[in-house]
Amino acid sequence: MKAYTTDQIKNIVLAGNAGSGKTTLAEAMLFEGKTIDRRGDIDSKNTSSDYRDIEHENGNSLFSSLLSTEFNGKKLNILDVPGLDDFVGGLATSMAAADTAVMLLNAQNGVEVGAEIHNRYLSMARKPMVIVVNHLDNEKANFEKTIESARERFGNSVTIVQYPIDTGLHFNAVIDVLTMKMYKLGENGQMEAADIPESEADRAAELQNELVEKAAENDEKLMELFFENDGLTEDEMRSGITAGLLTRGIFPVFCVSAKKDMGVARLMQFLTNVAPSPNMIEAPKDNKGNVIACDSSAPTSAFVFKTSVEQHIGEVVFFKVMSGTIKEGMDLINSTTQNKERISQIMVSHGKNRSKIAALEAGDLGITVKLKGTRFGHSLSEKGIAFEKINLPEPKFRTAIRTLTEGDEEKLGEALNRMHQEDPTIMIEYSKELKQIILSGQGEYHLNILKWHLDNQYKIETEFITPKIPYRETITKFAQADYRHKKQSGGAGQFGEVHMVIEPYTEGAKPKDMFKIDGKDMKVSVRGEDEHKLSWGGKLMYYNCIVGGSIDARFLPAILKGIMEKIETGPLTGSYARDISVYVYDGKMHPVDSNEISFKLAGRNAFAQAFKKAGPKILEPVYDVEVLVPSDRMGDVMSDLQGRRAIVQGMSSEGGFEKISAKVPLAEMNKYSTSLSSLTGGRAMYSMKFAEYAAVPGDVQEELLKAYEAEQDDE
């Protein structure tokens, strides 16, 4: 494949629900571009994308694939992404490389949940979108209902460029109102252009008028020409459609049967003629806010939008040339690691196959190998440019994982880190607090695929277990306690006595100088204070109120150390404690037997006793949850949320959905993605993001205390 200039490059992402035909369309596009001489198919497990064993086993795309082909004197870079919501990360990362989305709709089902989810991401990213109605040769195909559902979900920007004369088993021709031609399947198996039949002339003219108006709306000069000439030429319409694509003011509709390769060449002709090139879209910014123009003559920079690990090759790095020209043998700086990377070879990707190329210009997509430390999200450049990070979807499903074979923990850690690099929506946390490895992803299926790789690729036996909840402990009122640690067992003894009061910490509050202890007012004088921002959130304020030398100053750090130990394993459930002020105001020591360990133990135990008298509360993590649900399933979803202790914050409508906003405890969100899918037939979607810690209800706290007590007894 030759090198193409920026204006000859079209970067396309194939979006849509699983089963809409993205992989089959990509195969047909490679065939039409003569990149392959025979079309593979999913049933035969020989397509250029979906080439991994796990994809063959599941019959679905699970990873994004980059494919490149040539057509009409242009280069088409095609990103085939999974349609299942669990793998929406493939779309999120591919959008960083793509300039236009091709949204596939299954003519049997209209706009399905995967298309709705993908459109939501495309809309937030302001990506141009072309709609392709596929499976028109299926006997249950319904073009009119598909367009109706598209307008309902995507809005009035949906504009027909092609419509079928007939659907179902007799589908063999479309009317194209841009070229005002009929394209019909000929005896040679190719779509051939012909005049529009008289019976379709009126409808075609009406739809062309709608297309002309839409094209003119997006360009003032075209609007003037439209009124002056009572219409637009085909070239003027193309210009207007390009302008409309850039503002998402028009979503042109095309018709294909990807499986039979009907209409695919005409779609590719449109994409190469009309879809925006990389230098036409809004220029990206670096992390300092500077605009980086997509210009081949500028200093070279590239952004890594994907990495994968392949057998016999190792790590493969997928990149977009953001500016300049990348050449074989070039040295570039990784702005994250500050290391120099040698681009020893550059390849063009055709899915499972690759071909070498000497250089790639600004806007093009390619792959390289054998880089030392370049990963997903890194930037490579001559001038140290660092591009903004990709916004990835928040995790929605969590589980804990452990090995079944002792000694495999290190192997598991290496495998998980590698899989995170390949799919950055898989999050891994080695929780010291919970003593678990916590995995988070987009759904149960998402993490089950991860486990398949551990079992089959890495040969590590593991099991998923219920993840613990990172509770927090705090207090609600003032309390006093004192504790004497005394130990005599031959030789030097241990002695330390600590008196303290504790109260809830409030941001900005000044230290107290008067307390009521045992019904009597006691004045204290703060002689020193330590503020400790706790790594798990909240604060500990430690006040030294010792007067008269009752405790030597050298023992005060030991008392603090004992308190900190108890804060790390809270007195109620062993969870981290937070937001507490501690005043150490008195104590006793022994001239011989007092030492640091004595005061550490005295401080720890005095704190534990005071904590239990101070109205202790367990706090739980609460998440902001947003659910988009079809109106006919609203009642079921609301009932389910209420059963999960949700507090509904509001309801509204968005893009044909009812939107429920609620605050829900993390403890109640276990396997919610699976439940929601079951309740709504897979038609709902949700997102969740950490909001705050809030006190658990009394009955829940009682259950947690009993469970912790039983756990301690077992140990």
Tens of pLDDT, residue by residue over 442-501, are 999 999 999 999 999 999 999 999 999 999 999 999 999 999 999 877 667 899 999 999
72: left (phi over 0), alpha (psi -120 to 50) or beta: left
C-alpha dist (Å) from residue 211 to 163, 217, 222, 267: 13, 10, 13, 16
pLDDT, position 490: 66
- What mean pLDDT value characterizes the chain? 92
Count the helix, strand and coil residues of the chain and give each as a percent rounded to the nearest 5: 30, 35, 35
| Amino acid occupying residue 394 | E
pTM here?
0.86
Domain 301-381 has CATH 2.40.30.10: yes
């404690």: which residue's tokens? 577
Residue 404 structure tokens: 């079944």
Classify 618-700 by CATH class.
Answer: alpha beta
Structure confidence at residue 10 (pLDDT): 98
Per-residue pLDDT, 95: 95
| pLDDT tens for each residue of 164-174 | 999 998 899 99
Assess contact for 277 and 9: CB atoms under 8 A.
yes
The domain segmentation of the chain, as residue ranges, is 8-198+248-274, 301-381, 397-468, 473-615, 618-700
- CATH number for the 397-468 domain, one of 3.30.70.930, 3.30.70.870, 3.30.830.10, 3.40.50.300? 3.30.70.870
**Rg (the chain; Cα; Å):** 32
Handedness of CA 309, 310, 316, 320 (dihedral sign): negative
**Coil, strand or helix at 523:** strand
The pLDDT value recorded for residue 655 is 65
Say how far apart CA 256 and CA 266 lie, in whole Å. Answer: 9
At the second CATH level, the architecture of 473-615 is 2-Layer Sandwich (3.30)
Contacts of 115 (CB under 8 A, 6+ apart): 15, 16, 17, 20, 83, 103, 104, 105, 153
CB 420 within 8 A of CB 370: no
Which of 353, 269, 263 shows the shortest CA–CA distance to 25? 263
Domains 8-198+248-274 and 397-468 in one fold: no
- Pairing status of strand 100-106 against strand 9-16: parallel
The pLDDT value recorded for residue 341 is 95
**Token pair in block for residue 106:** 């299954």
Residue with tokens 């003894």: 493
Cα-Cα end-to-end distance for the chain: 66
Output the CA angle 463-467-472, nearest 5 degrees: 155
Q: Residues 9, 14, 17, CA angle at the centre, nearest 5°?
A: 170
Domain spanning 8-198+248-274 has what CATH number? Answer: 3.40.50.300
pLDDT along the chain (715 residues), means of 10: 93 95 96 93 88 86 94 97 92 96 96 89 95 96 96 93 94 94 87 94 94 83 70 80 93 96 96 96 89 94 93 88 96 94 94 92 96 93 91 91 94 94 94 92 94 94 94 95 87 90 92 88 91 94 92 94 94 94 95 93 96 96 93 93 95 84 95 90 86 95 91 71
For residue 30, what pLDDT is reported?
96
Which is nearest to 397 in space by CA: 433, 426, 362? Answer: 426
pLDDT value, residue 714: 67
Assess contact for 396 and 356: CB atoms under 8 A. Answer: no
Residue 269 CA to residue 681 CA, distance in Å, equals: 37
**pLDDT on residue 227:** 67
Residue 656 vs residues 16, 120, 151, 637, 659: alpha-carbon distances, Å: 17, 12, 10, 16, 9
